Amino acid sequence: MDTIRILIADDEKEIRDLLKKYLERERYEVDTAIHGEEALRLFAHKAYQLVILDVMMPKIDGMEACRSLRKTSNVPIMMLTAKDDEVDKIVGLTVGADDYITKPFSINEVVARVKALLRRSLVLNPDSRASEEERFHLHGVTLDMRSCTASVDGREIALTAKELQLLKFFMQHPGQVFTKTQLFRQVWNSDYLEDDNTVMVHIRKLRKKIEADPSDPQYIQTVWGIGYKFAGERE
């Protein structure tokens, strides 16, 4: 198996050292940066399979670093925030983060979430899903798992790794209704749903990208009081 490289950016040395120590125990290769500017510089010169960014950092903070990475990469991104602030979490997800952890955190939970992100990432090893159906087309939406690309009526759209996974799951089950908890279990590969915002923010972002009118979605539809579904087969 190829080396899995993780980049950690945090201005607190204790946090950097702790994460590096435990992730290296899992046989990952880990680089660290003291701020977002250094993280972006490292990312430009080496391939990483996952990035962990602290929200509050000097020079370039985690939000801005995440936004910059998303312009060129679908690498899974985990955000660390010292604030138990719902706004921070929503903003982090909106700029392209796949997950977030609030400080102080359980190191075992961080390691578990890192493993889940790597396991579910389309970027990490797309060829490992060779036995799965890799191309989906429904109602003008096309999703190609091998190339990690999506398009609507021939117009290519840029999706993050987590958005691709969410769209894939919906398109695998057209017409089937899922609760937010069910979606979280399937797409985030975890039973622990801290709040509804994680799923809701990703659905909101996905709708903005694939729907002609996100306020009146035709693809990802809300089933009030239950959850969401992808438009079923035409009758």
Q: Residue 48 carries which DSSP code?
A: -
**Rounded (10°) angle between helices 197-210 and 180-187:** 80
Question: How far is CA 124 from its chain centroid?
Answer: 12
Q: Give residue 4's pLDDT.
A: 87
CA distance 210 to 218: 9
Backbone angles phi, psi at 204, to 5 degrees: -60, -45
CA distance 47 to 113: 20
Q: Tell me the pairing of strands 155-157 and 220-223.
A: unpaired
pLDDT digits (tens, 9 = 90+) for 185-223: 888 876 666 666 889 999 999 999 999 999 999 999 999
Could you tell me which residues are beta bridge partners of residue 149? 144
Question: How far is CA 46 from its chain centroid?
Answer: 20
Give the pLDDT of the chain (235 residues) as one tens digit per residue: 467 899 999 999 999 999 999 999 999 999 999 999 999 999 988 889 899 999 989 999 999 999 999 887 888 999 998 766 666 667 667 778 888 888 888 999 999 999 988 887 744 444 443 334 578 888 889 998 777 789 999 899 988 888 888 999 999 888 889 998 889 888 887 666 666 688 999 999 999 999 999 999 999 999 998 999 998 754 3
Got the DSSP string for 56-124?
A: S-SSS-HHHHHHHHTTT----EEEEESS--HHHHHHHHHTT-SEEEESS--HHHHHHHHHHHHHH-TTT
**In 3D, which of 44, 45, 74, 53 has the Cα closest to residue 8?**
53
Is pTM beyond 0.85? Reply is no
CA distance 123 to 120: 9
Got the DSSP string for 170-209?
A: HHHSTT--B-HHHHHHHHS--S----THHHHHHHHHHHHH
Residue pointed to by tokens 């578990």: 112
Find the length of the chain. Answer: 235
Q: Residue 178 carries which DSSP code?
A: B
Residue pointed to by tokens 């979430």: 113
**In 3D, which of 178, 173, 165, 171 has the Cα closest to residue 138?**
171
**In 3D, which of 234, 217, 231 has the Cα closest to residue 177?**
231
Q: Give residue 138's pLDDT.
A: 87
